[in-house]
C-alpha cells in the first residue's frame, strides 16, 4: 500500500524560492559533542522565519510527526536540490528544517552529522547498505535511549526504480496482538546488535523487552526483525515477535524517495525498512548507485541530550 499522501509535504513555489535563497546564505553548522550546537540552533530559525510561508510548513511537519495518528513525514525538496545541488548548502538547509523538529545529533562517533548510507554489492543484502530486503526495525534498538527520530535524505534514488522505503505503525501492530503475545513481548528476552563508539544514547540494553510499558511519547516498541535470528531466543518469545512482525508487514505502507526528499520517522511510533533494489544492480556504476544520508534527532529535554 502506498504511503498516505497527507504525509508528503510539497512546498509552494514561492517558499521554494525563499528557501533556495536562504540555503545559499546559511552559515556552516557547529557541533558540540554529538549534537548540533546551541549557537547554530539559535541562528538557523532566524533565517527560516524570514520566509513568510515556512511557518505553515513547520506546523504541517510537526502535526504529521507528532499528531494523531502521526509518525512519519516526507518533505519534498527536489526543486531545491536541483537549484542548490545536494552538497553543503542543501544539507545546511535540511539541517535547519530538521532542527525545527528536534536537535540533530550523530550518535556514531566515527561519522559526521550526516552519515552516508551507500550501496555495497558485497554487503549483507539485509543491511542498510545492502541491496536486498531490509526488514522492519527501529534504529539503535539496543540502546537505553535511542534517537527519538531518524531521518533519511535521498541524494540518489535507485536508478532501477526500486528500493522503496517501507513503514509500519508499530503501536497499531501491537494493538492487534493477542494478550499472551503482548505479555511475552514485555519480557526482557530479546537481543540484537553490537554497542561501541556511541554517544548520547544511554547504555547498552541487552537483553531488552520489545514492549517497555512506558507512555508512547517516552517509550518504544523495541523491534528489529533481525532479533528473530539471534541464538538463544526460546520458541515462545520467538513466536510472539514473529506475530508482531507479521502484523507490521500486514499494515505496511511504502514510498519511493526522490532526489532531495527526506523521510522523518518518529521512532516512538513507527518502524521502517526497505524493499530490495532493482534487478540489474551489478550493471550500475558505483557513482550512480542509490545513496542516502542519515541523521538522528533528539527531542528537547529528552534524557541523554547534551546541554546546549
Domains of the chain listed by start with CATH number = 5-298 (3.60.130.10)
CA distance 55 to 40: 19
The torsion defined by the Cα of 12, 13, 17 and 22, in degrees rounded to 10, comes to 10
Q: What's the pLDDT score for residue 306?
A: 40
Confidence of residue 129 (pLDDT cuts 50, 70, 90): very high
Interval 265-300: pLDDT, tens: 999 999 999 999 998 888 899 999 999 999 999 997
Q: Calculate mean pLDDT across residues 136-156.
A: 98
- Does residue 305 surpass a pLDDT of 80? no
Closest residue by Cα to residue 266 from 86, 68, 118, 115: 68
* Model confidence pLDDT, tens digit, residues 205-223: 999 999 999 998 899 999 9
> Would you state the cell numbers that stand for residue 260, as one nine-digit string?
532531495
Q: What is the pLDDT of residue 174?
A: 98
For 152-206, write each residue's pLDDT tens digit.
Answer: 999 999 999 999 999 999 999 999 999 999 999 999 999 999 999 999 999 999 9
- pLDDT band for position 301 (50/70/90)? low
For 222-243, what is the mean pLDDT?
A: 96
Q: Is the pLDDT of residue 304 over 90?
A: no
Q: Rounded mean pLDDT of the chain? A: 94
pLDDT band at 3 (very low <50, low <70, confident <90, very high): low
In this model, does residue 307 exceed pLDDT 70?
no
Whether the predicted pLDDT of 224 surpasses 50: yes
Q: pLDDT for 10-57, tens place per residue?
A: 999 999 999 999 999 999 999 999 999 999 999 999 999 999 999 999
Amino acid at each position: 500500500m502506498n504511503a498516505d499522501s497527507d504525509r508528503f509535504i510539497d512546498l509552494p513555489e514561492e517558499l521554494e524560492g525563499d528557501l533556495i535563497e536562504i540555503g545559499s546564505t546559511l552559515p556552516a553548522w557547529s557541533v558540540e559533542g554529538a549534537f548540533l550546537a546551541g549557537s547554530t540552533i539559535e541562528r538557523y530559525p532566524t533565517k527560516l522565519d524570514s520566509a513568510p510561508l515556512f511557518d505553515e510548513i513547520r506546523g504541517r511537519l510537526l502535526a504529521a510527526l507528532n499528531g494523531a495518528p502521526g509518525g512519519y513525514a516526507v518533505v519534498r525538496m527536489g526543486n531545491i536540490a536541483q537549484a542548490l545541488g545536494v552538497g553543503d548548502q542543501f544539507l545546511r538547509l535540511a539541517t535547519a528544517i530538521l532542527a525545527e523538529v528536534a536537535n540533530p545529533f550523530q550518535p556514531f562517533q566515527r561519522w559526521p552529522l550526516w552519515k552516508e548510507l551507500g550501496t555495497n554489492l558485497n554487503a549483507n543484502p539485509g543491511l542498510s547498505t545492502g541491496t536486498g530486503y531490509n526488514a522492519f526495525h527501529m534504529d539503535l534498538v539496543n540502546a537505553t535511549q535511542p534517537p527519538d527520530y531518524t531521518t533519511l535524505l535521498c541524494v540518489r534514488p535507485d536508478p532501477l526504480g526500486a528500493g522503496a522505503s517501507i513503514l509500519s505503525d508499530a503501536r497499531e501492530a501491537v494493538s492487534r496482538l493477542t494478550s499472551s503475545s503482548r505479555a511475552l513481548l514485555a519480557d526482557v528476552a530479546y537481543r540484537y546488535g553490537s554497542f561501541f563508539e556511541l554517544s548520547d544514547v544511554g547504555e547498552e540494553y541487552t537483553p531488552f523487552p520489545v514492549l517497555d510499558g512506558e507512555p508512547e511519547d517516552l517509550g518504544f516498541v523495541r523491534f528489529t526483525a533481525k532479533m528473530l535470528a539471534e541464538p538463544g531466543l526460546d520458541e515462545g518469545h520467538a513466536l510472539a515477535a514473529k506475530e508482531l512482525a507479521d502484523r507490521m508487514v500486514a499494515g505496511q505502507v511504502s514510498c519511493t524517495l526522490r532526489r532531495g526528499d527526506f523521510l522523518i520517522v518518529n521512532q516512538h511510533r513507527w518502524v521502517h525498512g526497505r524493499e530490495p533494489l532493482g534487478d540489474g544492480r551489478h550493471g550500475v556504476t558505483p557513482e550512480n548507485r542509490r545513496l542516502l544520508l542519515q541523521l538522528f534527532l533528539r527531542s528537547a529535554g529528552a534524557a541523554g541530550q547534551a546541554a546546549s
